[in-house]
Amino acid sequence: MIRSLPRAVSTAAAVLGTALFVGTLLRLDLSTLAASIGRLGLMLPVILLPGTLWHLLRTWGWAIAFPDHARPAFSRLFRVRLAADAVGFFTVRGLAGEPLKVLLLYDRVPPGVTTAAVALERAAFAIISTLIAGVISGAVLTRLDMPGAWSTVFAGLSLAAFALALLLLVVVRHGSGVMGRLVRRLDRASGRRLGARGVTRFLLEVEVTLLGLLGGNPRRLTTLLVLPVVCYALMGLEAWLVLWTVGETLSFTETAAVETFTRLASVASAAIPANLGALEASNAAVVTALGLSGGGALALVRRVRSLLWAGLGLALYPKPRATPAPPPLALPPASPDTTA
């Protein structure tokens, strides 16, 4: 039963993706799409530039998330991130890609440090991107005239971002060191030394490293908060360039609406391998909802871009050395739990 559940989820996701892909193809005006391919081909190097900058900035953000004394070379991080993203692209994103980053850096950085860096960079981008999406969703509701169902989607996204902001305030105020406090309380209640066990100690090591990264360098945190805004704008620029190439000029709010919805759809369809069908359906649907043509062209370009970077990631797949990284620094002694 347990073994068959992942297979059932994967099969259901693949079937859903195929259905979305076929349904989108049936709705597209293929003659218009074919007429746009020539213009897209000439502009493709320019259109791919925002995505290239996006990958470089994401790698830079990940590099910044490492402690200064344990930061791998940028070229190594770039190869590892592309390889992990490629594996995640063809499987369930995140579940395969993030652990692979730790594995591919095992010979250079202690696993706990890499895990903390991955968590910090991912959390910063996820949180800021969600907040940006919430603000944009509010702007879409007030500035664009969209069908009722679309207004409901953007209203829900705006409310979800507001709830996330409240949650963050609570976590920032009360959540520091929560893992360590929890383990110490369990130790006292059970009479066992849970903190000495391998998995628990690894999680404590990750938490200590993560808290040190958050509090040790304000410039690091500022950069990680600014980078998601720049990356969000780059992906919006990509959508604007594609639609401008095929003869549609979008306003700032329309461009932001396209990027926000397609990003939300990408997260929601993470279980679908290669985002098959979901990518095409989301890009085509939101452009059509805005009363514009070119949704098929945008879906095509983003599919080509995704495959190109996934192929490059597999081609650059790095092989770690057999020798592991030196062990991490010993954890500092636990301070008394004054909250008990």
Residue 254: inside a domain, yes or no?
A: yes
336 falls within a domain = no
pLDDT score of 56: 97
What is the pLDDT tens value at each position of the chain, 340 positions in all? 445 665 676 677 667 777 876 777 667 766 667 767 777 888 889 999 999 999 999 999 999 989 888 899 999 999 999 999 998 888 765 566 788 898 999 888 888 888 888 888 888 888 888 889 888 998 998 898 887 788 888 888 888 877 876 776 666 555 555 555 555 555 555 555 544 444 455 455 555 555 555 666 778 888 888 999 999 999 999 999 999 999 898 999 999 999 999 998 888 887 788 888 888 889 999 998 998 888 888 999 999 999 999 999 999 998 877 666 665 544 444 444 443 3
Establish if 22 belongs to a structural domain.
no
In a domain, 66, yes or no: yes
Is 261 contained in some domain?
yes
Dihedral pair phi/psi, residue 174, rounded to 5°:
-125, -5
The number of beta carbons lying within 10 Å of the beta carbon of residue 112 is 23
Largest Cα span, the chain: 73
Q: Please check whether residue 147 lies inside any domain of the structure.
A: yes
Q: How far is it, in rounded angstroms, from Cα 265 to Cα 1?
A: 30
What is the pLDDT at residue 216? 62
72 three-state secondary structure: coil
* pLDDT score of 179: 52
Which amino acid does the sequence have at 74? Answer: F
Q: Cβ neighbours of residue 6 under 8 Å, at least 6 residues apart?
A: none
Q: Provide the domain limits for residue 241.
A: 34-315
| Inside any domain, residue 322 | no
The answer to whether residue 8 is domain-embedded is no
The Cα 301–Cα 316 span in angstroms is 22
Q: What is the C-alpha to C-alpha distance for residues 133 and 160, in angstroms, rounded to an integer?
A: 10
- The per-residue pLDDT for 298 is 92
Residue with tokens 């770690």: 320
- Angle between helices 148-174 and 111-143 in degrees, nearest 10: 140
What domain count does the chain have? 1
Backbone φ and ψ for 264, nearest 5 degrees, come out as: -60, -45
